[in-house]
Amino acid sequence: MGKIIDGTKIAKSYKEEIKKFTDKLISDGKRVPCAAAIIVGNDGGSSYYLKSVMKNCSVLGVTIKDYRFPQEVTEQELEAAITNLNNDKNVDGIMLFLPLPKHINSKHITSLISYKKDIDCLTDLNNGKFYKGEESFIPCTPNSVVKLIENCGMDMEGKNAVILGRSNIVGKPLVQLLLQKNCTVTVCHSKTKELSKVCSNADILISCTGKPGLVTKEFLKEGAVVIDVGTTSVNGKITGDVVFEEVIEKASYITPVPGGVGAVTTTMLIRNICEAYRKNVY
């Protein structure tokens, strides 16, 4: 029987660090860190995530400005909003929720965000710095995955890590972070043959596909560490990619959904807001 990696507990220490920082700002009479969130349309997943971010920010003394636009918003309106936020010295970070509607050029809109305020590491400039190993904002979800693995006490050097999913937001940047830890990394996707066989060689198995029930015990080597990044709403309940009840029997460590990666991701985002504040103000 594997042990559950408690993301909520891990996030707590980072939250204490953030609260100490904002309390000092308030006691010194300074403004607190502030980020702007831009959501287009009524995507339930984006709204759920933003609600969690705002709830945590409220407790930790960080401000979030919520900018909502209808599905039919024009590209010019989004351009104007981002330009205004880039120029607002009281806004330290900008969160642009993706995907955008098909009539919007997402690459163009993303490129408009100032690299100094790009707390999600979406711009080409920050991506380039990140993949070259230079100082940049670290993508929040991949960073959270690494923090959770480290919490298990595992020495990642030389371990076989298999990632299910190759998205620009999670899968690809996760490859970079794991390579920095000297893991041997395999990336699987919808065209991968004998998927369960490939996964069964993993010391670390990370699933970020958004396909509930994909990962069963057949995917696992005995004693593997399993990180479930999936968050899909099924009958009103947030569900991961992993069949938890099966997989925990073979895993050494496993993250639950919710209470795993998501709990740490929100905190990593707020840390990035604070880091942007430090660069902006100091």
For residue 274, CA distances in Å to 41, 110, 196 come to 28, 21, 41
167 appears as a binding residue in the annotation? yes
Give me the count of residues in the chain.
282
Question: Is 266 within 8 Å of 52 (Cβ atoms)?
Answer: yes
User: 55 Cβ partners below 8 Å, 6+ apart?
Assistant: none
262 appears as a binding residue in the annotation? no
Which residues does residue 160 pair with via DSSP β-bridges, in sequence order?
184
93 appears as a binding residue in the annotation? no
Question: Is 188 within 8 Å of 206 (Cβ atoms)?
Answer: no
231 appears as a binding residue in the annotation? yes
Compute the half-sphere exposure of residue 66: CA atoms within 13 Å on the CB side of its CA: 12
| 236 φ, ψ (degrees, to nearest 5) | 80, 5
Query: Annotated binding site for NADP(+): which residue ranges?
Result: 165-167, 231
Annotated binding-site members: 165-167, 231
